[in-house]
C-alpha cells in the first residue's frame, strides 16, 4: 500500500511533479487536515509515549534483522525456531511458498529501504555493499515472477531511490554510482522472457538462469496465473524504465494490464482470480479484494499517482464502483461470482484483504475504510492475530498467521487520514501481541495456529520490509525521519519510489486509446482532495460513531452464555470455567478438565484439535453438560422429526396462506427474495416445527458447491426457536421427488447423519396389514446438520454471507436417504463433537432440555452398542480437511 505526497523539495535537480498529477497524489494526504477534529475522539497520545513505542519498534527490528544477519545471511530467509537460514533445496519443499526464494539473499534486499526509514543509514550503507558483493542473480532456480518483482526488483529500486537521496544530502553513500539500479536492470531483463505469450500476460514462474521453456528451465508449461500476479508489475517495471530510459519494461507491464482490463466481465466490471495466460479465459471466476486479486486494484490507482496516466484512474474507478456495489457488505468484503455478482462465491475472508482500508484512504473513501478496519481489529482482539482466513461469523477458517503486515499498513493510513489517536492504540496492540506471542530468541516466528499459539519455523522477508516500516511511521513525527516520506509512493511490498518519476523519460503514451471505458457518474470520483466537512461533518466523534456499532460485532456473532447462578458463583470467588479460546493442548491441567468431562482429544492432520465426548466416561456429568468446566461448550443432540409440507408462498417471504398445512410439520421453502431469518419467522409463526430451505439455483449440489450456512439478518434472532436447514438443489430434489411419489414424507433433522442400518436394528417391524400400507405410503428422510438461527447473527441472506456446513458431501448419501420402513424409536448418539477453532457452541436451553427429555424417555439407547470408530468421527470433517489442503495450493 502506498502513501503519496507532493513533489520534491525546492532546490532539487530532479524535475517537479506535474500539477495535474499532484492533485491525485495528495488526495490521501489532504485528509490530514481532518486531524483537528479527529483528535477529539480519544485522548491524544503524548510525544513521550509515541517516542517510546517508536523506540520499541526499532528494538524489534534490530532483533529480527540482527538475527537474520547473524544466523541466516546469505540465505534468503531466517528460520527463527532453529536459528538457521532457509536455503532453497536444502529444506523440505513448502510448495508455492518457496517460489519467493531464489538464493539471492531475499531478506537483505527486501530490508534495504526499511533501514533508511528507521534512520539506520550506516547499516544501510553496509547492507548495500553486501548486496553488491555477495548477491548473484544468475542462479539455476525457478522463482515466482510476481514475488521476485515486488520483493527483489522492488527492493533494489527502493534501495536505489534512497541511496541517491542520501548521496544528494552529502553525508552517506558518496561512493554510490547506481550499482543497485544496474542490478535491477539485470534482473528486469531476466524476467522479460516470462512475457513471451500471445496475451502478454507473464508466465507465473521463470528460471533465473535459463528463462522459459528450455529443458533446463523446468518451467514454461503453466497455463494459468493469478490476476494479481500479472497485474502487479507496472510500478516496478515503469520505475525501472523511467530510471534507466529502457522503455521495454514499462511497455510489457502496460500490455499485461491492458489485457486484464479487456478481459474484465463487462456486465459486472469485475475480474476473476485466475486467468489462462494463452486464451484469456477466466479459470477461477470468483472475485474479491483479497488473495489473487488484491494488488491489481492497488496498482491501478498507484500507477495513476506515479505515472499520471488518466486511464489508470478511470479503470480503478470502474472497478471500485463494482467492488462497492457487489463485494463490499460493510463491514465485510465477500467474494462473488463475476457473472453473478449478487451470488457470494466464498464462505470466508482471507487476511490479505486487510490492505483494502488503506487503499480506500488513498481513494478518499473513509467511512467504509473505518468500518472494515474496525471489524478486522475485533477479529485480532479475539485471536491476537488475524487468521489467514476467517468465516463471516468470525470463526477461524485457516489458523496460520505468517506475520502479515497488511493490517498495520491500513492502520497507518487511517491514522494519517484522520489523526485519530485510536489508531495509535491499535498500533500499540500490534506491538504488544508481536512481542508477547511471536517473539522467539532468534527473531519472530510465524504463528502456525492462532488458537493454540503454536509457531512455525519461518520469518518471511515481508515482515522486515513492511511491518516495521509501517509501525515506525505510525508513531514517528516528521522530524523523526531523515527525508520527506511524502515525496515517495509505496509499492505493495512497501518499497519507496520517488514521485518525480512521473515527469522523467516519458516515452509511453499516457492515454490508452484502445480501451473503451464504461461511463460512470463521476460524482463519486472527484479527482480532488476530499472535503473534510463531508468526511467529518462538524462532529468530532464522527470516526468513533462509525466504529462504535462494530465494537462487539465479533462477540455478538459468537455469544457465550453462562447461567445467572453460575455467573454469581464466579463473582463470589469460584474459579471461572475454561474458555475454548484459552485451551492449550499442551496444558496438563486443561487436559485433566477434559478427562473429567469425558472428552478425548484428537489431533487432526490439518493441525487442528478435535474434541470428542464419551458420555459413559463423564465423571462430573452435571458440569460437563452445563459447561461448568468449559463455558463455551454444550454437549447436546439436536434432533427434530416431523412430516414435511410446502409453504405458500413457496419463498416464505410473507405471512403463510396455508398455516394449517404446515402446523406441527417441517416447512419446505425456496431460497431467495428475502433473508433466511425472515423465512424462519414466517414459518414459525404458522406453527412449523422446523424448516428446510431448498436452493433455487437449479442443479446445485453439495458435491460441487462451497460450504454454506444460512445467516441471520443482522438483528436479534433469539425469537427464532426452530431449526433451519439449507439443502442444495440436488439434495432437495430427493425430498421433492419423494413427496410426488408418496402421500406423506417424514424427515429427521439431526446434528449429524445417522447410520440407517444401525437404527433399523432398533425399529419394530410392522405387524399388521394396515401398518404395512402406512409404511408404503410414508417415507422417512434423515437429514444432517440442522442450522439453528439462534446462534447465527450475520448480515443478509441475499448475499449468502455465512457458510458453515449445512450438509457436507461426505454425509450427503446418508443425510438424505430414503427408508422403506417407519422409525418407531429415536436413539441418540453417545458422542457429540466440537472443534477447537474459536467457534461457539452455545445452544438454546430449551433445546437442551428437550434433548435430555428424549434421552431419558428412550429405552432403546445403548451407549456401548452405539460407539462409533474414530474413522467414522473423522469422516464428518472430510470437507474441512480438504479445504485446508486446498489452502496449501492457494498463493496467499
What is the C-alpha R_g of the chain?
30
205 backbone dihedrals φ, ψ, rounded to 5°: -135, 160
Number of DSSP helices (H) and strands (E) in the chain, helices first:
35, 31
Q: Whole-angstrom Cα distance, residue 178 to residue 160?
A: 7
Whether 406 is catalytic: yes
Give the three-state DSSP class for 287: strand
639-646/666-670 β-pairing: parallel
Whether 91 is catalytic: no
Q: Read out DSSP for 197-254?
A: SSSSPPPSEEETTTBSSSGGG------EEEHHHHHS-HHHHHHHHHHH--THHHHHHH
Q: Whole-angstrom Cα distance, residue 466 to residue 491?
A: 10
SS3 sequence, 37-69?
Answer: HHCCCCCCCCHHHHHHHHHHHHHHHHHHHHHHH
User: Which parts of 676-768 fold into alpha helices (H)?
Assistant: 676-685, 729-741, 756-761
Catalytic residue, candidates 98, 236, 294, 811: 294
Q: Which grid cell is 316?
A: 480503478
Q: Whole-angstrom Cα distance, residue 462 to residue 880?
A: 29
**Paired strand residues for 646:** 668
**Exposed (0-12), middle (13-18) or buried (19+): which is 601, by Cβ within 10 Å?**
middle
207 backbone dihedrals φ, ψ, rounded to 5°: -90, 125
Residue 713's nearest CA partner among 674, 682, 741, 745 is 674
Residue pair 378/550 in contact by the 8 Å Cβ criterion: yes
Q: Whole-angstrom Cα distance, residue 423 to residue 376?
A: 13
Q: How many CA atoms lie within 13 A of 732 on its CB side?
A: 23
Catalytic residue, candidates 286, 388, 746, 805: 388
Catalytic residue, candidates 3, 99, 125, 147: 147
User: Which parts of 597-675 fold into alpha helices (H)?
Assistant: 621-626, 659-662
207: left (phi over 0), alpha (psi -120 to 50) or beta: beta
Q: In what order do the strands lie in the sheet with 817-819?
A: 787-788, 723-727, 690-694, 666-670, 639-646, 744-750, 778-784, 817-819
Q: Whole-angstrom Cα distance, residue 550 to residue 106?
A: 39
Element (H, E) at 645: strand 639-646
Q: Which grid cell is 567?
A: 455467573
Residue 105's nearest CA partner among 137, 83, 129, 73 is 73
Q: Whole-angstrom Cα distance, residue 60 to residue 435?
A: 8
* Peptide bond between residue 649 and the one before it cis (omega within 30 degrees of 0): yes
Catalytic residue, candidates 371, 406, 791, 797: 406
Residue 13's contacts (CB-CB under 8 Å, 6 or more residues apart) are: none
Q: Read out DSSP for 554-602?
A: HHHTS-----HHHHHHHHTTPPPPBPGGG--TT-HHHHHHHHHTTEEEE
Q: Whole-angstrom Cα distance, residue 336 to residue 327?
A: 6
Enumerate the active-site residues: 147, 294, 388, 406
Amino acid at each position: 500500500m502506498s502513501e503519496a505526497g507532493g513533489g520534491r523539495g525546492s532546490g532539487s535537480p530532479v524535475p517537479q511533479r506535474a500539477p495535474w498529477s499532484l492533485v491525485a497524489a495528495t488526495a490521501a494526504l489532504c485528509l490530514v487536515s481532518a486531524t483537528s477534529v479527529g483528535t477529539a475522539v480519544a485522548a491524544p497520545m503524548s510525544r513521550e509515549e509515541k517516542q517510546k513505542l517508536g523506540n520499541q519498534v526499532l528494538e524489534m527490528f534490530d532483533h529480527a534483522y540482527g538475527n537474520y544477519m547473524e544466523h541466516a545471511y546469505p540465505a534468503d530467509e531466517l528460520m527463527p525456531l532453529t536459528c538457521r537460514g532457509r536455503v532453497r533445496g536444502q529444506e523440505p519443499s513448502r510448495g508455492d511458498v518457496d517460489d519467493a526464494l531464489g538464493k539471492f539473499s531475499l531478506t537483505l534486499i527486501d530490508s534495504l529501504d526499511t533501514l533508511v526509514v528507521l534512520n539506520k543509514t550506516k547499516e544501510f550503507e553496509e547492507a548495500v555493499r553486501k548486496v553488491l558483493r555477495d548477491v548473484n542473480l544468475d542462479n539455476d532456480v525457478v522463482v515466482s515472477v510476481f514475488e521476485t518483482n515486488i520483493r527483489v526488483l522492488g527492493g533494489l529500486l527502493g534501495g536505489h531511490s534512497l541511496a541517491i537521496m542520501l548521496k544528494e544530502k552529502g553525508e552517506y553513500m558518496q561512493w554510490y554510482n547506481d550499482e543497485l539500479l544496474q542490478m535491477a536492470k539485470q534482473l528486469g531483463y531476466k524476467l522479460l522472457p516470462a512475457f513471451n505469450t500471445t496475451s502478454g500476460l507473464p508466465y507465473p514462474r521463470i528460471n533465473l538462469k535459463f528463462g522459459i521453456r528450455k529443458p533446463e528451465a523446468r518451467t514454461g508449461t503453466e497455463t494459468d496465473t493469478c490476476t494479481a500476479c500479472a497485474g502487479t508489475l507496472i510500478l516496478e517495471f515503469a520505475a525501472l524504465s523511467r530510471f534507466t530510459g529502457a522503455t521495454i519494461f514499462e511497455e510489457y507491464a502496460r500490455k499485461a494490464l491492458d489485457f486484464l482490463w479487456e478481459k474484465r466481465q463487462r456486465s459486472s466490471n469485475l475480474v476473476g482470480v485466475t486467468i489462462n495466460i494463452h486464451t484469456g479465459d477466466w479459470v477461477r471466476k470468483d472475485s474479491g479484494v483479497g488473495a489473487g486479486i488484491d494488488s491489481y486494484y492497488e496498482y491501478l490507482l498507484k500507477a495513476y499517482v506515479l505515472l499520471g496516466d488518466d486511464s489508470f484512474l478511470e479503470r480503478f474507478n470502474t472497478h471500485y464502483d463494482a467492488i462497492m456495489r457487489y463485494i463490499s457488505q460493510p463491514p465485510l468484503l465477500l467474494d462473488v461470482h463475476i457473472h453473478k455478482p449478487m451470488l457470494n462465491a466464498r464462505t470466508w475472508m482471507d487476511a490479505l484483504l486487510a490492505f483494502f482500508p488503506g487503499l480506500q484512504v488513498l481513494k478518499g473513501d473513509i467511512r467504509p475504510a473505518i468500518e472494515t478496519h474496525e471489524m478486522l481489529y475485533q477479529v485480532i482482539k479475539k485471536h491476537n492475530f488475524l487468521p489467514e482466513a476467517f468465516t463471516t461469523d468470525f470463526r477461524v477458517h485457516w489458523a496460520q498467521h505468517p506475520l502479515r503486515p497488511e493490517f498495520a499498513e491500513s492502520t497507518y493510513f487511517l491514522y494519517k487520514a484522520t489523526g485519530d489517536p485510536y489508531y495509535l492504540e491499535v498500533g500499540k496492540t500490534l506491538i504488544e501481541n508481536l512481542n508477547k506471542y511471536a517473539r522467539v530468541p532468534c527473531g519472530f516466528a510465524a504463528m502456525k495456529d492462532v488458537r493454540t499459539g503454536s509457531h512455525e519455523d519461518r520469518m518471511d522477508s515481508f515482515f522486515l520490509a513492511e511491518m516495521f516500516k509501517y509501525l515506525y511511521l505510525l508513531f514517528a513525527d516528521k522530524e523523526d525521519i531523515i527525508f520527506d516520506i511524502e515525496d515517495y509512493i509505496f509499492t505493495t511490498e512497501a518499497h519507496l519510489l520517488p514521485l518525480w518519476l512521473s515527469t522523467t523519460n516519458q516515452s509511453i503514451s499516457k492515454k490508452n486509446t484502445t480501451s473503451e471505458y464504461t461511463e460512470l457518474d463521476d460524482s463519486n470520483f472527484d479527482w480532488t482532495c476530499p472535503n473534510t466537512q463531508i468526511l467529518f461533518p462538524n462532529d468530532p466523534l464522527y470516526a468513533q460513531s462509525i466504529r462504535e456499532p462494530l465494537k462487539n460485532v465479533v462477540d455478538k456473532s459468537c455469544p457465550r452464555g453462562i447461567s445467572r447462578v453460575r455467573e454469581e458463583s464466579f463473582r463470589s470467588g469460584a474459579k471461572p470455567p475454561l474458555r475454548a479460546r484459552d485451551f492449550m493442548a499442551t496444558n496438563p491441567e486443561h487436559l485433566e478438565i477434559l478427562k473429567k468431562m469425558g472428552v478425548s482429544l484428537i489431533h487432526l492432520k490439518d493441525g487442528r484439535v478435535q474434541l470428542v465426548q464419551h458420555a459413559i466416561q463423564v465423571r462430573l456429568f452435571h458440569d460437563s453438560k452445563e459447561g461448568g468446566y468449559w463455558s463455551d461448550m454444550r454437549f447436546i443432540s439436536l434432533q427434530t422429526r416431523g412430516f414435511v409440507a410446502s409453504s405458500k408462498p413457496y419463498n416464505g417471504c410473507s405471512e403463510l396462506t396455508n398455516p394449517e398445512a404446515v402446523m406441527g410439520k417441517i416447512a419446505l421453502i425456496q431460497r431467495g427474495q428475502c433473508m433466511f431469518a425472515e423465512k424462519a419467522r414466517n414459518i414459525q409463526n404458522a406453527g412449523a416445527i422446523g424448516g428446510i430451505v431448498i436452493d433455487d439455483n437449479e442443479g446445485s449440489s453439495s458435491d460441487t458447491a462451497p460450504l454454506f450456512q444460512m445467516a441471520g439478518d443482522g438483528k436479534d434472532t433469539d425469537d427464532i426457536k426452530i431449526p433451519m436447514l439449507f439443502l442444495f438443489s440436488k439434495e432437495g430434489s430427493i425430498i421433492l421427488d419423494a413427496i410426488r411419489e408418496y402421500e406423506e414424507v417424514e424427515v429427521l433433522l439431526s446434528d449429524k447423519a445417522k447410520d440407517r442400518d444401525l437404527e433399523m436394528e432398533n425399529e419394530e417391524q410392522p405387524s399388521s396389514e394396515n401398518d404395512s400400507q402406512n409404511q408404503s405410503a410414508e417415507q422417512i428422510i434423515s437429514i444432517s446438520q440442522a442450522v439453528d438461527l439462534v446462534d447465527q447473527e450475520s448480515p443478509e441472506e441475499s448475499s449468502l454471507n455465512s457458510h458453515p456446513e449445512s450438509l457436507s458431501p461426505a454425509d450427503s448419501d446418508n443425510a438424505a436417504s430414503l427408508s422403506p420402513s417407519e422409525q418407531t424409536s429415536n436413539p441418540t448418539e453417545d458422542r457429540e463433537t466440537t472443534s477447537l477453532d474459536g467457534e461457539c457452541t452455545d445452544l438454546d436451553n430449551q433445546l437442551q432440555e428437550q434433548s435430555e427429555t428424549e434421552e431419558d424417555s428412550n429405552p432403546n439407547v445403548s451407549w456401548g452398542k452405539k460407539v462409533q470408530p474414530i474413522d467414522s468421527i473423522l469422516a464428518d470433517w472430510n470437507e474441512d480437511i480438504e479445504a485446508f489442503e486446498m489452502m496449501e495450493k492457494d498463493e496467499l
